[in-house]
């Protein structure tokens, strides 16, 4: 994250006092793309008290005020929380930001999907990297921070799943992935019934159809069925993993790829968001 000593004053006169600059930043008159202002309002309303360090990108006067578009801001904001798909110190703290954004209707559906998808990624880093690097140790592995991030995501998952009926299909797909990461005796049966309609709408061989079918296999929690499904779907579309890697790790590695593809399709369907 670059830090500029002189913020872009946009529509303010060049001799505007620093105090006025700070007030203009605080009220949202200037500095930053529209989505940053939405995020800032949501976090202000939902997270009282000290904010996680990544929130500096929303509130600090000198936190890259040169950015003008949503895409650049979002990419770097998400990367501050989960740095290049690697957990580090502070990732667990940043989970609170994603959870708050994921449950607020002021945040566009595309960004709510991204927030839940990033929570899935943070919760599954260890498993996915294990499968991808087996039998070697994943580079940049950080078991302590990975475990803390996973626990942080698990703690907010019930509130996310409580929004299922109010969410659009795309966000439900991301929530389905999170459900099988943290299965419970209550959520798995509910997930199975909730996804049956999607099976009818999306045939096998489509990105959404295959994703939903694979989620349902994982929801059954039967390794004898999961392993063949991993092999079948991997052979069809996806980057494979070592057959000697743990089944769950391989399954989450594949599920992450499938969820990413669903997200890319959503981005193409909603350009500019």
| Statement: residue 270 has pLDDT above 90 | no
| Statement: residue 259 has pLDDT above 60 | yes
**Tens digits of residue pLDDT in 53-83:** 999 988 876 666 556 678 888 999 999 999 9
Distances (CA, A) of 251 to 162, 212, 245: 25, 13, 10
Residue 2 is predicted with a pLDDT of: 34
More confident residue, 219 or 14: 219
More confident residue, 21 or 52: 52
- Whole-number Å distance between alpha carbons of 69 and 178: 29
**Tens digits of residue pLDDT in 71-130:** 888 999 999 999 999 999 999 999 999 999 999 999 999 999 999 999 999 999 999 999
Q: Which residues make Cβ contacts (< 8 Å) with residue 162, sequence separation at least 6?
A: none
| CB distance 32 to 57 below 8 Å | no
Distances (CA, A) of 213 to 165, 203, 235, 270: 20, 9, 15, 24
More confident residue, 68 or 25: 68
């Amino acid at each position: 994250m670059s830090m500029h000593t002189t913020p872009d004053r946009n529509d303010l006169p060049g001799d505007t006092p620093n105090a006025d600059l700070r007030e203009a930043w605080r009220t949202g008159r200037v500095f930053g793309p529209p989505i940053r202002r939405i995020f800032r309002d949501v976090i202000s309303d939902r997270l009282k008290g000290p904010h996680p360090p990544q929130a500096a990108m929303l509130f600090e006067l000198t936190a890259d005020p040169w950015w003008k578009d949503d895409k650049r801001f979002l990419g770097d904001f998400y990367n501050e929380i989960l740095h290049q798909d690697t957990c580090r110190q502070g990732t667990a703290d940043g989970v609170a930001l994603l959870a708050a954004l994921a449950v607020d209707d002021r945040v566009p559906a595309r960004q709510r999907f991204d927030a839940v998808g990033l929570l899935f990624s943070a919760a599954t880093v260890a498993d996915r990297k294990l499968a991808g690097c087996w039998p070697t140790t994943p580079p940049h592995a950080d078991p302590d921070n990975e475990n803390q991030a996973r626990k942080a995501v698990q703690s907010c998952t019930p509130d996310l799943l409580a929004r299922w009926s109010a969410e659009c299909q795309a966000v439900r797909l991301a929530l389905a992935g999170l459900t099988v990461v943290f299965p419970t005796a209550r959520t798995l049966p509910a997930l199975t019934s909730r996804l049956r309609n999607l099976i009818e709408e999306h045939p096998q061989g489509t990105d959404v159809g295959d994703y939903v079918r694979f989620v349902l296999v994982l929801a059954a929690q039967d390794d004898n069925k999961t392993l063949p499904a991993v092999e079948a779907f991997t052979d069809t579309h996806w980057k494979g993993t070592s057959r000697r890697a743990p089944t769950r790790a391989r399954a989450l590695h594949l599920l992450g790829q499938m969820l990413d593809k669903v997200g890319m399709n959503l981005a193409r369907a909603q350009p500019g968001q």
